[in-house]
A and B are shown apart, each in its own frame.
Chain A
Amino acid sequence: MNRRFFLGLAAAGLAGSSAFVLAGTRPAMAKAVDVNAVLHDPEAPTGGNPKGDVTIVAFFDYNCPYCKTSAADLARVVKEDGKIRLVYKDWPILTEASVQGAQFALAAKYQGKYETAHNALMGISGRRSSGDAMLEAIKASGVDMNRLQADLTSHGQKISALMQRNHAQALGLGMNGTPTYLIGSFRTSTLDYRGFKEAVAEARRRQTAK
C-alpha cells in the first residue's frame, strides 16, 4: 500500500462526507473533520503510553452496555501492550444521565482522577444508571467530591465545549452510535480482548509498512 493510495482514499472519504453535508441529512457535519483535532485535542483526557506508536480513540457513553463490556478488554490490551496511546472521547448520546456522568468524569480530570472516575462509571452494573448512581460510584472510587463540585462550577463551560467537539467529530466521521473505536486508521465498534489485540497489531503493521 503506498502512501498516495491512502491519500486518495482520504480525499474520497472527505468528498463523501461533504456530499453528505450538502444533502442536509446531518447538519452537525457542517465542518470537515480535522484528524489532528481528533487525535490531539488538548482538553481530551488520555491514557496509556503518551509516546505510544498506535493511538486508540474511544468514543463511548456511560450508559452503554457494549461500552462497558468492551472497556475492560480495552484497558487490559492498553496495559499489556505498553505502547498504545489512548484518547478518551466522552460522547454521551444514549441517555440524559450519560451527560451528567461525562461531566463528572471530565471534572475529575482537574484533580488528576479522570481514569479513576471513568473506570468507576464503566464498572457500574445495571443497564441504565441514574445520575445519582454515577455520583455514588465516583464518590466510592475516592474522588474528592468538594473539589469535583468546584471544578464543575469553574470549568463547566470548557467541559461542555469539549463534549460538543467530541459530538461534532463523531458525527463528522459518520459514527452511528457507541462504542466506536478508532484504532490507528481503522474504525470498529465492540471488540473483545483478542479483537483489540489483532486490530492494534494490524494498525501497527500498516504504520510501519508506509
Chain B
Amino acid sequence: MPEKLIHRTILAIVCLVALLGGAALAQAPLPVDDAFRLLVRRDADAGLRLEWQIASGHYLYRDKILVAGDKAPAVATPPGETKDDPNFGPTEIYHDHLTARLGEAPPSGSLRITYQGCAEDGICYPPVTKALDLATLELSEVETGFGFGATREVATVTPASLAATGEPALATAAPAAPDPTSLMTGNLAWTLAAFLGFGLLLSLTPCVFPMIPILSGMLARSGESLSARRGFGLSSVYVVAMALAYAALGLVAAWSGQNLQVVLQAPWALGLMAAVFTLLALSMFGLFELQVPARWTGWIAGRTQGRAGSIAGAAALGFGSALIVGPCVTPPLAAALLYVAQTGDGARGAAALFALGLGMGLPLIVFGTFGGRFLPRSGLWLVRVKQAFGLVFLGLAAAMLLRALPEDYALPVWGVGALGVAAFLGAFDALDAATGWGRRLQKSAGLALAIYGATLIVGFAGGATDPLRPLAFLAGGRRRPGVRVAGAGGSVGSRLRPGPVHGECRRTPHSCLLYR
C-alpha cells in the first residue's frame, strides 16, 4: 500500500533527523556583522530585548555578552547549550537565535553592548561592541576588538602589575538566570491565537468526524438523563482532555527539539525537514492520505467503552482520542510538532498544542451540547481549506530550504512559490462570459502573482538578489560579482577549492586566492 510506504518513509526521515547527532556541515565564516545580527526592541514594560540572529555554523558565548553604561540594567540571558570541548572544558554557547533581556532602561542615553563568538569550522571573531542609542534604539559601530588599535601599555612580568592591567574594566552586568516572565511577553498570545485558529480550521475539515461517533456514543450511553448542560459538561471534559494530550505531545517535541537545536540547524537537517513539509503539503493536496491505522482507533474506542458516560470516562476517552485523529489531522499535527521542536521552548510548545487541540474541539462541544444541527456541511470549500494548509506547508518548506542555501537562491524559490499559488488562484483557468466577478477578481490576483513570480525567476537569472527590484540588472544595476578563478587546475580536496578573489575572500576564507 503506497500510503503506508510514504507514511513509513516520513517516519523514518523524522527519526533520522532526531537520531543522527553528528557534526553540522562546515560552512565558510562570514564577516562578523553577518554572522551575528543584533536587533534591539523595547518591551511593553520599558525593558529592552536584545535579539541576535546567529548565522548557521556560528555561535555566541554566553559569558561574553556584556552591557555597560551609566545605570546599565542587568542583562538576563537564557541558559545556553553546553559546548564541551575535551581540550578547553565546557562553555555555554548559543546557536541560531538568542534573545537576552535588559531590565528597565532609561528612555535616553546610551549603552554599550559587547558580544563575541566563533564559527564552527574554525575561526574566532574579536569581541564586537555596539553603541545603543536608548532614545532611537539605533545601533552604531563602536569597535571590533577591545581598543587594540590604540597605543597600548607594555605588559610587565610581575603578577601584581598583571592584576592592574588584567581583565577589561567594563562595568558589566553579569549574565543572570533566565527571565521567568519571558514566556508571557513576546508573541505568545499571537502564537496561541494562531494555533487556536489552525485548530478551528482543522475542525472544519473532515478530520474531526471520526471523533463524532465516539463522542455521540458516549453521550448516548449516558442515557435519558442527558440534558444540554450535561452534554456540554461531558463534551467539554472530552475536548480539554484531548487538548491536554496534544499539550503533552508539544512538550515532548519541544524538549527533544531543545536537545537537537544544533542538529536541526545543519543544512542536511533543514533539507530533510523541508522534504517532510513538502510531503505533508502533498498530502494536504490530496495526493495521498496519512492515517493512523484503523485498528488503533478501534482499540482505544473499545478500551474506554465501559467507563463511558461519566466525567472520568469522558476525560479518558478524550485523551485517547487525541491519538486516533482522522486522516487529515496527522500532517498538520506533524507540522505543528516540527514547528514546536524548532523553537525548543517546552512551555510555549505545550501551550501552543493545547490551543490547537482546543480549537479542534470547539465544534465538538457545540455538537455535544446541541446535537448535529450546527455542524458545517462538508463540501468543496473544505477541500480549499486543506489546500490552504498545503500552501502554508510549502511556504515552511521553502523557508527551511532557504536557511540552508545562500541568500541568492531566495528569488527563484519564492518565484516558483508565487507561480504555484497563482495556479491555485486559477490564474491559468479559462473563464467564460457567465463567470462571476468574484472568480474574475481571483483570476486577476492570480495573474498578478504569476507575473511577479516569473519576474523573480528572470531576475535571478540576471543576477538580482533584491525581491523588490528583480529587474534592476536591466538598468545596469548591481550584478553578482562575476570574477571567478576560472579553470584553476588541480583540486586540493574538498577544503581547498580555489575560489574568487578578495571581495568574496571575506566570505570564503577556506582557500580563496588572495594575492599575486
Contacts and interface: CB of A to CB of B under 8 A. Distances in A.
B513 interface: yes
B512 A187 contact: yes
Contacts of A103: 154-155
B16 interface: no
Interface stretch (B163-171, B246-254, B337-345): B163-171
A81 to B, nearest CB: 15
Given A16-B501, A160-B152, A185-B515, A190 B121 contact: yes
A16 B125 CA distance: 22
B157 A189 contact: no
A199 B513 CA distance: 12
Contacts of A75: none
Interface stretch (B95-103, B141-149, B415-423): B141-149
Given A10-B515, A99-B155, A127 B503 contact: no
Contacts of A130: 162, 166-167
Contact of B166 (A96, A182, A190): A96
Given A176-B30, A188-B496, A10 B516 contact: yes
Secondary structure dominating the interface of A: helix
Given A65-B88, A177-B32, A16 B503 contact: yes
Contacts of B485: 9
B302 interface: no
B126 A93 contact: yes
A178 interface: yes
Interface in B474-516: 483, 485, 488-490, 492-493, 495-496, 501-503, 505-506, 509-516
Contacts of B262: none
Nearest to B117: A177
A81 B91 CA distance: 36
B451 interface: no
Which bucket holds chain A's interface residue count?
A: 35 or more
Contact of B490 (A157, A177, A191, A202): A202
Contact of B87 (A65, A157, A175): A65
Given A16-B503, A103-B154, A164-B149, A178 B496 contact: no
B489 A1 contact: yes
A186 B513 contact: yes
Contacts of B509: 175-176, 180, 187-189
Nearest to B485: A9
Interface string A47-90: 00000000000000100111111100000000000000000000
Contacts of A46: none
A149 B87 contact: no
Contact of A125 (B88, B145, B488, B502): B88
B311 interface: no
Contacts of A189: 29, 119, 121-123, 509-510
Contact of B125 (A131, A177, A186): A177
A188 B510 contact: yes
Contacts of B506: 174, 176
Contacts of A65: 85, 87-88, 118, 124
Nearest to B127: A94
Given A10-B516, A96-B146, A127-B88, A202 B156 contact: no
A12 B154 contact: no
The bracket for how many chain B residues form the interface is: 35 or more
A175 B154 CA distance: 25
Contacts of B119: 177, 189
Contacts of A148: 157
Contacts of B126: 93-94, 177
B379 interface: no
Interface string A157-183: 101100110010000011111111010
Nearest to B154: A156
A140 interface: no
Contacts of B512: 186-187
A92 to B, nearest CB: 7
A135 B124 contact: no
Given A1-B488, A182-B514, A198-B496, A152 B124 contact: no
Nearest to B161: A131
A174 B158 CA distance: 36
B89 interface: yes
Contacts of B187: none
Given A100-B162, A174-B502, A185-B513, A69 B87 contact: yes
Given A68-B87, A135-B162, 15 more contacts: A9-B513, A35-B516, A65-B87, A69-B122, A92-B148, A100-B165, A125-B87, A127-B89, A130-B167, A131-B166, A176-B30, A186-B512, A188-B511, A190-B122, A195-B493
Interface of A: 1, 6, 9-10, 12-14, 16-17, 28, 35, 61, 64-70, 92-97, 99-100, 103-104, 125-127, 130-132, 135, 145, 148-149, 152-153, 156-157, 159-160, 163-164, 167, 173-180, 182, 185-191, 194-195, 198-199, 201-202, 205
24 contacts: A9-B483, A9-B501, A65-B85, A68-B88, A94-B116, A97-B166, A127-B85, A131-B165, A132-B162, A135-B157, A145-B157, A148-B157, A149-B158, A152-B155, A153-B154, A185-B516, A186-B513, A189-B29, A189-B119, A189-B123, A189-B509, A195-B496, A198-B495, A199-B511
Which A-B residue pairs are the 9 nearest by beta carbons? Answer: A190-B122, A13-B502, A156-B154, A93-B126, A202-B492, A189-B123, A127-B88, A16-B503, A149-B157
